[in-house]
Amino acid sequence: MDIKGKKAVVFGGTSGIGLATTKLLAGEGANVVAISRDPSKAGELPAGVSTRACDVRDSAAMESLLAELGPFDILVSAATGGERAVGPFVEMDIDGFKGSFDKLWGYANVVRYGAAHLNEGGSITLVSGSPARAHPRDLSALSAVGGAVEALVKTVAREIAPQRRINVVSPGVIDTPMMALEGKAEREAAYADMTKGYLIPRAGTAEEVARGLMFVITNDFVTGTIVDVDGGWLLSD
């Protein structure tokens, strides 16, 4: 797909990976609508980008917003949805575990109410995360949610082919505002510790992940695929 002149809708497009994707899409000439609960956090945006406010968990609001914005060619969601529970599963607050699935419910709304407004030749891209297949200790919620996202995408790929495509990009540890870390020194130390066993021992950048999204968005022969942008986390010791 040639991005120039296409219409793109990016949920979570106002921060981190979604914002980086919004900027790359706009740079290639797309008209982008970046959406989150508080789009003002995006700061100054390039020409061709507008913003809307919506909570991806609000099914009724999502159905009407996607109907209003359609038809479009590129649909992306990188919205985290809500809080993530961490720690041993057998000691975990069960409501915290269940709440981590807000990411899946948000993505489900994006796909369920967005697919009908996707032009022929268009694509949907969701963002999962390495825990889906690395199954790290203490990240059971992220692992379960990511696995569900990847299974959903592969099943929907069958339903919407061959006219439309859907893929997943799976990031490893990425330096974005998602991680509440204060100051440069604290960020560098935390990311160095988190990634010390990885083949590429550093945090990735939001733009490196967004380039993975651009690959699946632009390559018309790619559907039902998971692209890992993870510095080799899945092969780490």
Ligand X SMILES: NC(=O)c1ccc[n+]([C@@H]2O[C@H](COP(=O)([O-])OP(=O)(O)OC[C@H]3O[C@@H](n4cnc5c(N)ncnc54)[C@H](OP(=O)(O)O)[C@@H]3O)[C@@H](O)[C@H]2O)c1
Instruction: Report the interhelical angle of 16-27 vs 206-218 (nearest 10°).
Output: 50
Helix (H, G, I), strand (E, B) or coil at 74: strand
CA distances from 91 to 85, 135, 146 (A): 11, 17, 21
Q: Which of 83, 67, 152 is nearest to 115 (CA)?
A: 67
In this complex, which beta carbon is closest to ligand X, that of residue 55 or of residue 115? 55
Are 202 and 231 contacting, i.e. CB atoms less than 8 angstroms apart? Answer: yes
In the complex, which residue's CB is closest to ligand X?
16
Q: Which amino acid would we find at residue 32?
A: V
171 is an interface residue for ligand X by CB under 6 A: yes
In this complex, which beta carbon is closest to ligand X, that of residue 154 or of residue 187? 187
57 is an interface residue for ligand X by CB under 6 A: yes
At closest approach, how far in Å is the CB of 115 from ligand X? 18
Size of the site for ligand X (CB under 6 A): 30
Among 32, 79, 152, 213, binds ligand X (CB under 6 A): 79
Q: Which amino acid would we find at residue 66?
A: L
Among 129, 156, 214, 227, binds ligand X (CB under 6 A): 129
In this complex, which beta carbon is closest to ligand X, that of residue 119 or of residue 133? 133
d(CA 189, CA 85): 22
Q: What is the DSSP letter of 222?
A: -
Among 21, 22, 31, 36, binds ligand X (CB under 6 A): 36
Q: Which amino acid would we find at residue 40?
A: S
List binders of ligand X among 89-108 (CB under 6 A): 103, 106
Token pair listed for 107: 């993505």
Among 6, 16, 152, 156, binds ligand X (CB under 6 A): 16
Interface residues with ligand X (CB under 6 A) are: 11-12, 14-18, 36-38, 41, 55-57, 78-82, 103, 106, 127, 129, 171, 173-174, 176-178, 206
